[in-house]
Amino acid sequence: MQHHELVGQVQAKARLADIGEATSAIRATLQTLGERVPEGLADNLAAELPREIGEYLRQTAGAPSRGARFDRDEFVGRVADRAGMDRPEAAFAARVVLEVVGEATQGGIMNRLQAALPTDIRQMVRSGSKGELPG
Instruction: Give the model's pLDDT for residue 133.
Output: 46
Q: What is the pTM of this model?
A: 0.91
pLDDT at position 97 is 97
Which residue type does 98 have? L
State residue 135's pLDDT score: 38
Residue type, 115: A
pLDDT averaged per 10 residues in sequence order, the chain, 135 residues: 96 96 98 90 93 91 64 95 96 96 89 92 87 51
Cβ atoms of residues 81 and 88 within 8 Å: no
pLDDT of residue 134: 43
Integer CA distances (angstroms), 83 to 2, 18, 59, 79, in order: 22, 13, 16, 6
**What pLDDT sits at residue 62?**
57
Query: Which domains occur in the chain, in start order?
Result: 3-127 (1.10.490.110)
Give residues with Cβ within 8 angstroms of 61, minimum separation 6: 34, 39, 42, 43
Give the per-residue pLDDT at 66: 56
What 3-state class would DSSP assign to 15? coil
CB atoms within 10 A of CB 27: 19
